[in-house]
Structure 1
Amino acid sequence: MLYKYFGPERVDVMRSLSIRFSPLLSLNDPFECLPLVEARSAKEMLISEVIRDFEELWEKTDEDEKTDDNWVLLEKTRENTIANIENKFKASNTGSEVVAMLGDNFGILSLSRTEKNILMWSHYAAEGRGFVIGLDENHPFFHQKDARGRITKPLPVVYTTVRSTVSPRDARFYEKFLCEKALEWADEEEERVFRFLENIETRSIGKDQYGQSIVLTHLPKETIQSVFLGYRADTDLMDSVFQAIEQNEIECDVYRARICDNEYRIVFDQLLRA
């Protein structure tokens, strides 16, 4: 089971069964935007992906649209894109350039292996006024194919004092590039799910405080196995959660958090059994 912490205003996740995969630039760790990437390999990887993407675009083009003029236009666009990559990688901070190129087309869903972390309840669940949902990490939602057709899975974050310099040629490129954080974050026990987002322009419901598109992805109700109401959750939140469960026919356990009387921990009383 993996867990997601929310403030009370995010009860819309339960109502609409939609969740956000956040762009790197929208995450709260400043080092997320400054990964150390070996420049030459990163540039070669991006150029090869551009070439492959343009080839796939041409293959998917309707036959009556495969004209000489359109081919010339495609080639010119590809050349300009590659030239742009070449120019950007003259800059010293390769990692930030890679992040900028991914933009809001690449999203991360940050989850935790624990529902009992006091700091996370305070930080991510509005000081106990919010809620946590428990998600079935074995559901197909968390094991979709990536852009290369490989089955993905939630990846655990590694906590370290040393920043790795990564190369796109590394077998564990994505783990090193996107799944390393400072030791100070270790209590979060984070696991990450990655997703390339399509049709950003038509799916965006607005911009966040970092100027990144807010794109919601459907969350299958079967992924929701449990809900934990905060130790300071009010009746409005509780009513909204139970209404969402009933309206969407979600089969899940519901618990109410409370502060332990004699230990520094959070305990849960069951309110509803699936």
Structure 2
Amino acid sequence: MLYKYLPPERVDVLEAMRIRFTSVVSLNDPFECLLKIGEHEYAVDPNEAKNSTKFLSLSRNHQNLLMWAHYADCHKGFVIGFHRGNGFFKNSNTVRYRKLRSDLNGAQPHRLASQEITKAIALEKAIDWAYEEEERLFLDDVPNDLVLVGKDYWQQSILLNSFPKDSLAAVYLGVRASNSLISRIEIALSNMILRYQSIVLERAKGSFQLLLMSSEKLNKVSHGDIYGIAASPTFRSRAC
């Protein structure tokens, strides 16, 4: 699966079945909008970035404590799991992590079609980010059904694209998720006529890990534990 970490206020992703595809200008890594060519460095002009490559950042890991802290509002948010084999997500690209910066961010223009060069440039990051295990899904590689909902801090358009219901595999809630967030997610899945069941994770006692909770403990679960919902669009009825 591929996973998207989100803060609680982004529950609209499940309610509207739309998710943001972002320009490099709006990312949290200041090197993302820079391009090195030899001894020269070029920056993406924010005023021209509206035509730049846009993508959805995903992870191969849904149990990373740092990711929960950084992208899911200190474990108060949630993670959506998507079926990687679904047609919408099958063309995701693995990010390369490097200690040193490469010319054109490691892209090799002589080996790529022109439309692939900008994607390759956006797939190299500093090794410091390797813990994210990132995959990037480019807007050019999925059906476009975009809705503009405003501008971000960098004055870049916030574009939300729909994703197919059958790509949804699971939803995991953080150890600090509120009852109201859990309720809104359950309602969102119910409205999609998805069958779902509880998947509960707990904090390991002997290590810094999130583990599957044993079945005998399930009846003692509180919302203070990691809680997940596995969604299966192949079923039409709701089951808890």
TM (normalized to structure 1)? 0.69
Which amino acid in the other structure matches residue 191 of structure 1?
E
In the other structure, the counterpart of 1:96 is: 44
1:203 has 2:147 as partner: yes
- 1:257-272 alignment runs, 5 A limit: 257-269=201-213
Cα distance in 2 for residues equivalent to 1:199 and 1:192: 16
Residues paired across the two proteins, number: 211
Please list, as runs of the form range in 1=range in 2, the aligned pairs for 1:99-118 lying within 5 A after superposition. Answer: 101-103=48-50, 106-118=53-65
Of structures 1 and 2, the larger Rg is shown by 1
- The answer on 1:171 being equivalent to 2:111 is yes
Question: What CA deviation, in whole Å up to 9, does each residue of 1:106-158 have, x standing for no partner?
Answer: 31100000001000001101111110011012211124xxxxxxxxx111111
Checking the alignment, whether the CA contact within 8 Å between 1:7 and 1:130 is kept in structure 2 is yes
Do 1:221 and 1:250's aligned partners in 2 also have CA atoms closer than 8 Å? no
Which residue in 1 is equivalent to 2:74? Answer: 127
Read off the aligned partner of 1:126 and give its amino acid letter: D
What SS does the corresponding residue of 1:241 show, helix, strand or coil? helix
Q: Does 1:27 align with 2:27?
A: yes
Instruction: Tell me which amino acid in the other structure corresponds to 2:150.
Output: G
Of 139, 158, 168 in structure 2, the residue corresponding to residue 224 of structure 1 is 168
Percent identity of equivalent pairs: 35
Confirm or deny: 8 A CA contact 1:230 1:256 kept in the other structure: no
Gap runs ≥5 in structure 2: 214-226, 233-240
Query: Cα–Cα, structure 1 residues 140 and 198, in superposed 2: closer, same or farther, change >3 Å?
Result: closer
For 1:4 and 1:253, locate their aligned partners in 2 and report how far apart those are by CA, in whole Å.
20
Counterpart code for 1:24 = V
**1:158 aligned residue (80, 96, 108):** 96
Q: Is the 8 A contact 1:203 1:216 kept in 2?
A: yes
Report which of the two has the higher share of strand: 2
Contact 1:253 / 1:272 at 8 angstroms: preserved in 2? yes
Paired position in structure 2 for 1:8: 8
Measure, in 2, the Cα distance between the counterparts of 1:256 and 1:177.
39
* Counterpart mapping for 1:37-76 below 5 A: 37=37
The counterpart of 1:185, out of the listed 108, 113, 129, is 129
Amino acid at match of 2:164: P
Map of 2:220 onto structure 1: none
Q: Secondary structure at the match of 1:203?
A: strand
Deviations 1:15-37 (A, max 9, x none): 00000001111111100010225
RMSD: 2.8
Shift of 1:191: 0.5
Name the structure 2 match of 1:245: 189
Matched residue type, 1:130: G
Residues 13, 272 of structure 1: alpha-carbon distance in 2 compared, 3 angstrom cutoff: closer
Give the distance between the partners of 1:265 and 1:165, measured in 2 at CA: 38
